[in-house]
Amino acid sequence: MGLAAQMLPGVGAFAQSGERKVGYCVIGLGRIADHFMRGVKEGSTSTITGLVSGHRDKAERIAAQYGVPKSSIYSYEDMDKMRENKAIDAVYVALPNSMHAEYTIRSAKAGKHVLCEKPMCTSVSDAEAMIAACKAANVKLMIAYRLHYEPTTLRAIKLIQDGAVGQVQSIVSANGFNESAGEWRLNKALSGGGPLMDVGIYCLNAMRYLTREEPVKFAGFVSTIDKDGRFDTVEENTSWTMQFPSGIQASCTTTYGGSMPGFYRVYGSKGWLQVDEFGYQGLRLTARYSQGRGSPATTLDEPNLEKDPKQFVREADHFTECILKDRAPRTAGEEGLLDMQYMREIYRVAGVTAL
């Protein structure tokens, strides 16, 4: 950590070594919060210093695990009191989508930096309000696009930028899974929408970081096949085509009704490049390209052997560094807002009420 960071006026927890760590209060203690907290523990820059939960017992158990004092456990009702808690620099919002806006804004008003899970929220106007609230409170807002900090993804982006596959023409991508009845994702009041919001957003966001362009044309459909009660409020499938200003095209699909391991394949004039898996581990990059007809082909097969929660270590490290060095996160609120706008557009062309 540099001198500038050490001289920052912010308060926070200190590691036993004496080096300052950024303290995170985790809001919502579901599955992804568990990955994040394990990531923070595995890393060396950050620490868990607070919890917000509707289940006091569960929160106390987790607090004991991470060394969080009982006095730093809040309910959803009294979490605004964290303003007074100097050990909390930032919050990690790991709630159902429709609660992201409220808890981001309340956290900002409590003077805490905000790392918010994706999708950023459930409407474009909420996204704008979140950005405005964080700006007004002079706190940082980062959306938890963990793959932006993940080495296989960065390797794919660099290979494309370096021209390995030549001029990119189009990309196909899929990401989905078979969701179980009763999960909050199937309740539109909590999720804001179907698989596009939760897992299709990986395809959408990948198309943007792979092309480094913003999509300008959208076409697609939503459908529900299974009439088993799971899809009373959200759609089961969304497939869409996007076009970028250069002419690059993207074909994407997402589902809550099938087995759909995440992947993208990028087709360029000199070859193709594929990354399998958008999950917490097990990413694998394969590629085959040649610098011209008759030139020998390069074949890549690069499994990423890192284990969960390493991606969360990197994500926390980045936001912590931004806080300590007063830098803008690479995936700030504006990145999340763009995806919200594009998802609204995909839903609009598919005939679904706009976000």
The answer to whether residue 202 is catalytic is yes
Answer yes or no: are the C-beta atoms of 279 and 304 closer than 8 Å.
Answer: no
Which residue of the set 21, 41, 118, 140 is catalytic? Answer: 118
Name the H helices within 168-246: 188-191, 195, 201-211
The answer to whether residue 267 is catalytic is no
Applying CB under 8 A, which residues contact a copy of itself?
Answer: 165-170, 172, 174, 176, 178, 217, 219-221, 223-226, 236-241, 243, 246-253, 255, 257-261, 265, 267-272, 288-289, 349
Identify the residue whose tokens are 């030139």.
295
Dump the DSSP string for 36-84.
HHHHHHHSSSEEEEEEE-S-HHHHHHHHHHHT--GGGEE-TTTGGGGGG
From first CA to last CA, the distance across the chain in angstroms is 41
Name the H helices within 162-303: 188-191, 195, 201-211
Neighbour-count burial of 293, counting CB atoms closer than 10 A to its CB (0-12 exposed, 13-18 middle, 19+ buried): exposed
Closest of 96, 124, 120 to residue 27, by C-alpha: 96
As a dihedral over the C-alpha atoms of residue 206, residue 208, residue 209, residue 212, rounded to 10 degrees, the angle is 160
C-beta closer to a copy of itself: residue 113 or 270: 270
C-beta closer to a copy of itself: residue 151 or 166: 166
Q: How far is the CB of 203 from a copy of itself (least distance, A)?
A: 10
Assigned token pair, 220: 């697609």
C-beta closer to a copy of itself: residue 71 or 246: 246
Side-chain half-sphere CA neighbours of 131 within 13 A:
19
* β-pair partners for 27: 52, 93
C-beta closer to a copy of itself: residue 260 or 316: 260
C-beta closer to a copy of itself: residue 11 or 225: 225
CA 321 to chain CA mean position, Å: 18
Which residue of the set 74, 149, 202, 289 is catalytic? Answer: 202
Catalytic machinery residues: 118, 202
